[in-house]
Amino acid sequence: MARVTQVRYPEQGYALIWFRGDRQLAGNPGQFVMVRGDWGNDPILGRAFSLVESGEEEAILVRVVGVGTRRLAELKPDDPLWVLGPSGHGFALPASDQNPVLVAGGVGIAPLYFLAKKIRETGGRATVLYGARNNRETPLAEEIEEFADLVVTTEDGSAGRRGLVTEPLAEILDDTSVARIVYSCGPEAMLEAVARACVDRQVECQIALESPMACGKGTCKGCAVLAADGRYRYVCSDGPVFESREIYKS
């Protein structure tokens, strides 16, 4: 059990929830937790969220889409929070000769924020490409600029550059004078486009998949995805981070 310490962004349809438990989770970028408030049986199951930070306090980013996420966004400081985790396989940090490019779509920024901060702590600096539909859907953008180079794209041009986030990615990858590694999290169509761009240029790419989960431990088999070899992978236990070639055919 943990206690909420701070909630930010609820008026924007998001909630950045900070919490503290009786022990530190010691999670890594790309890992997730199953979270549930003390609200009885509606809904009865927890929800899966990538860790935004992990240490003395932990944080998750919630986008309000239904009953469970709305109840989480309505939490106040000192409210109880049931947390299971950290679970899953996280990102492998870049080698010293690799320049990391992080590509986020929407709330896919959550694990990439954590990764960018970890890269900075180890002496590197990431380029973060953050795509959204509009300027109201870019939580954590201001914060991430403190330790990464940020490029924002919006489909309506209301913030940053108008267009899709894969456009600046292609421009960066076409500069072959620098060794790159790409990390990505976001909607499936974006992930596939990022993976294709990396395959075409022979650039290593790690992706964090998003999937609804019931148990978060590989028991219910509800988060199955069809991999490139025609077999299924389970996002909670085999992932959520995969080499992009494992999921998308080259």
- Concatenate the DSSP letters of all residues of 40-89 into one string: TTSS-S-EEEEEEE-SSSEEEEEE--SHHHHHHHT--TT-EEEEEEEESB
Q: Give the burial class of 197: count Cβ atoms within 10 A of its Cβ; 0-12 exposed, 13-18 middle, 19 or more buried.
A: buried
CA separation for the pair 164, 104 (Å, rounded): 11
* pLDDT given for residue 39 in this prediction: 84
* pLDDT given for residue 95 in this prediction: 93
* pLDDT given for residue 100 in this prediction: 97
Q: Which residues of the chain have pLDDT under 50?
A: none
* pLDDT given for residue 40 in this prediction: 81
pTM, entire model: 0.95
